[in-house]
Amino acid sequence: MKPITIKEIKEAIKDYNLGELISIKKLKRRLEDLQPSFILKTTKGKYFLKQYWEINENIEKGVEFNLFLQQKKYPCNKIILDKNKKLITKYQKYNFSIFEFMSYKEKYNLTKKEIYEYGKGLARLHSFSKNMKNLKENHSPKDYYNEFKKGLILTKKAPRKIKETYKKISLEYEKSVNKIRELPRGICHVEYTPQHTRYSKGKLTAVIDWDLISKGYFLYDIGTAVSVYAKYNKIEFDKIKTFLNGYESIRKLTPKEKSLLFEAIELGLFKFITWGLDKEEVKKSGWVGVKQANYLIDFGKDKFLESPYGRYAYIITAKK
């Protein structure tokens, strides 16, 4: 399917009460296969239009949950209903939703206060799980591990050291997938990262991009969120601990969750590596996350448990 055109958008948004259209700007996406997005400027303000390549349960539940969150005053970008009170509008062969425009820029290097809010925000999300009991799990660690194995064919022409690292990742991936079982589950964002959060004066103001919302392990969502602190030459334990302090101000981790934090961080990082096994991604960005994964695996769980947070988690678990 091709992206919706400017001319088609002008016709399609007549189903909304957005005021008079002033301009439409298509956003540049990092990859061609990412869903097209546009900024609409009208006499009533700015809006964000996201086109969906296809409609599936995750997207339907994502926009539905987005509406639920704004009703609960959870920080998220508000979804705009069309004149027929629909969350997703179908125009000819196109499907799209319109959201309020977020003026706050992406921020990767969060302050300590923002990292605390980052953790607290994820725990608040997890606390809403009882409201969507019928949500299915289709983004599990095992799902991504199977996808990873299929994508390894792309590494055939990779440099020797890269191939060796992927073999190492594959072995570690399987071990960690088998360990993360029988943990608390519920609503997960699946891609909760600094890229998808916005802040103002140290406060979390919005969580965006709910297309992958799924039932899953809370710890896997946590591992995804803090995997950004596993760098290619160090692990930022102070930031991980600050995130978890924020998280546990809302929801306490179980002893087993604490004991498997290392594996969760691995799986969070491995998920991004799995997404990176894409022809366009490899051509544009190279072998995404491989250096970070190599460092984390070599660092090892034993050394991780000697860290300020890891040691604390180990002691608590041992007492139980």
- In this prediction the pTM is 0.90
Q: In the numeric block, which tokens belong to residue 281?
A: 């991604």
Q: How far is the CA of 155 from the CAs of 43, 158, 233, 313, in angstroms?
A: 50, 5, 23, 37
Tokens of 202: 């140290």
| Strand extents, DSSP E, 15-166 | 21-26, 37-42, 45-52, 79-80, 89-91, 94-100
Q: What is the pLDDT of residue 186?
A: 93
Class of the CATH-defined domain 6-100: alpha beta
> What is the reported pLDDT for 306?
83
Terminal-residue alpha carbon distance, the chain: 54
Mean pLDDT for back-to-back runs of 10 residues, the chain (320 residues)? 89 93 87 82 94 87 88 91 93 93 82 97 92 77 96 93 96 96 93 94 92 92 97 94 94 93 97 93 90 96 82 52
The predicted pLDDT at position 319 comes to: 47
Domain boundaries, given as residue ranges, for the chain: 6-100, 112-319
Q: Rounded to whole angstroms, how far apart are CA atoms 49 and 97?
A: 6
- DSSP states of 51-78 as a string? EESS--HHHHHHHHHHHHHHHTT-SBPP
Give the model's pLDDT for residue 106: 80
Rounded to an integer, what is the distance from CA 20 to the centroid of its chain? 34
Tell me the three state secondary structure of residue 96: strand
Distance CA 219, CA 116 (A): 17
Provide the 3-class DSSP secondary structure of residue 103: coil
Of the candidates 70, 75, 74, 26, the residue with the CA atom closest to the CA atom of residue 48: 26
Beta carbons within 10 angstroms of residue 288's beta carbon: 19
Q: What CATH code would you report for 112-319?
A: 3.90.1200.10
> How would you classify residue 293: left for phi > 0, otherwise alpha for psi between -120 and 50, otherwise beta?
alpha
